Amino acid sequence: MKKIILISCMAIFSAAQVWAQEKAQNSYPMLGEDAPSFTAESTTGTLNFPGDYTFKWKILFSHPADFTPVCTSEILELAEAQKNFDKLGAKIVVVSVDNIENHLEWEKNMESINYKGRDPVKIDFPLVSDPNLVIAKEYGMIHPNTSSTKDVRGVFIVDTKNKIRAMFFYPMNIGRNLGEIERTLVALQTADKQQVLIPANWQPGEDVLVPYLKSTAEGEKVLSDNDPNYYQVTWYMRFKKAGNK
């Protein structure tokens, strides 16, 4: 009987260890945590992330493989939008699990494509090589219930202090919405600069919410000065008009 109990305990312990290891492998950095750092080869040379872009906003895109149709459409749209991100003080970094030789060939091919009737665009951001899935695992991009690489399709927005501020994950067959990623970046920058909240479906230039008011009395107090720059729709939703810092 004791032997059976001992064997059962050992089995439970082993299973717990396996579960813990799998959980660790499938974990990903949380909002507000430091972005995992890595050094890897890229199409622009050796890259240290996020250290090479300290004091800049960073947008890390990941892809499961080169020469894939959905990912190629995303890279072409990124290349078209890279000037917009530059104006916002954000650097783009793309990670793909293929080797650097494939990256260079893929980049060369994409820079020859007339996409959506546009002239070919030069890709100025680095394509990072991650053939051993080191970066993918650090960022929790390996999903055990599907292919080991096809879900390497995450987006991480990292701020000037190298903290992760937003994350997106997309399936392999659905292209990413770069407009929403850019909107989220502008929203984060606006919230930080003005110390405000961003309402649903907000677009740059629209009114923003002020921090949460805890009671009707507090709402009435902050509006008692009749400041025309502020208005409320109910006591816990107070807006600041766009253009007022």
Measure the CA–CA gap between 111 and 74, rounded to whole angstroms.
13
User: Does the N-terminal peptide bond of residue 50 adopt cis geometry, omega within 30 degrees of 0?
Assistant: yes
Which positions ≥6 away from 41 have C-beta within 8 Å?
A: 47, 100, 128, 129
Which positions ≥6 away from 66 have C-beta within 8 Å?
A: 96, 98, 102, 103, 105, 106
Name the token pair of 27: 């974990």
Name the nearest CA neighbour of 235 among 227, 218, 97, 52: 218
- Mind listing the domains of the chain with CATH numbers? 24-178 (3.40.30.10), 195-240 (no CATH)
Mean pLDDT value of segment 190-208: 96
Name the nearest CA neighbour of 93 among 132, 57, 126, 51: 126
Q: 3-class DSSP state for residue 69? A: helix
Name the nearest CA neighbour of 95 among 56, 57, 137: 137
Verify whether residue 9 is a known catalytic residue. no
Which of 35, 40, 71, 93 is catalytic? The answer is 71
Task: Check residue 117 and give left, alpha or beta (phi > 0: left; psi -120 to 50: alpha).
Answer: left
Measure the CA–CA gap between 5 and 139, rounded to whole angstroms.
39
- Mean pLDDT (the chain) is 85
Q: Tens digit of pLDDT for each residue in 20-39? A: 344 444 567 899 999 999 99
What is the band of 236 on the pLDDT scale with cuts at 50, 70, 90? confident
Phi and psi, residue 96, nearest 5° = -135, 150
- Is residue 13 scored above 50 in pLDDT? no
The label of the residue with tokens 């502020």 reads 230
Strand 57-63 relative to strand 154-158: parallel, antiparallel, unpaired? antiparallel
Phi and psi, residue 205, nearest 5° = 100, -10
Q: Measured in whole angstroms, how far is the alpha carbon of residue 61 from the centre of its chain?
A: 7
Residue 19 is predicted with a pLDDT of: 34
Measure the CA–CA gap between 56 and 167, rounded to whole angstroms.
17
Q: Tens digit of pLDDT for each residue in 130-173? A: 998 899 889 887 755 555 555 568 999 999 999 999 999 888 88
